[in-house]
């Protein structure tokens, strides 16, 4: 299943974000989260996930605080 489906263990590259995008892989209901188009690093497969589901592993990354703040806000809204 890991070959055809995204996993929380995978490492992704964020390609695009889109407000009204939804896919079956997103854990939230339609319209509740911002869509995040990602490329899985291991095989270049593309998925749309929820932006709040992503985590930046490098805390020195300039986008770490923004993504972390969004995930915290989303979880506590």
pLDDT score of 4: 87
pLDDT tens by residue, 15-35:
999 998 988 888 887 778 999
Q: Residue 49, SS3?
A: strand
pLDDT score of 77: 86
Within-domain flag for 3? no
Within-domain flag for 5? no
Within-domain flag for 35? yes
pLDDT score of 11: 94
Within-domain flag for 37? yes
Within-domain flag for 7? no
Predicted structure pTM score: 0.84
Within-domain flag for 42? yes
Statement: residue 1 has pLDDT above 80: no
Q: β-strands 46-50, 35-40: how paired?
A: antiparallel
pLDDT tens by residue, 37-70:
999 999 999 999 999 999 888 899 988 999 999 9
Count: domains in the chain: 1
Taking a C-beta distance cutoff of 8 angstroms, is the pair 42, 11 a contact? yes
Closest listed residue to residue 50, CA positions, set 76, 77, 70: 70
- Domain membership of residue 65 as a residue range: 12-76
Within-domain flag for 72? yes
Within-domain flag for 16? yes
């Amino acid at each position: 299943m890991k070959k055809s489906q995204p996993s929380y263990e995978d490492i992704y590259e964020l390609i695009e974000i889109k407000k009204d995008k939804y896919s079956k892989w997103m854990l939230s209901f339609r319209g509740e989260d911002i869509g995040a188009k990602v490329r899985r690093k291991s095989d270049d497969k593309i998925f749309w996930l929820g932006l709040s589901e992503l985590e930046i592993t490098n805390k020195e990354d300039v986008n770490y605080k923004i993504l972390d703040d969004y995930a915290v806000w989303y979880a506590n809204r």
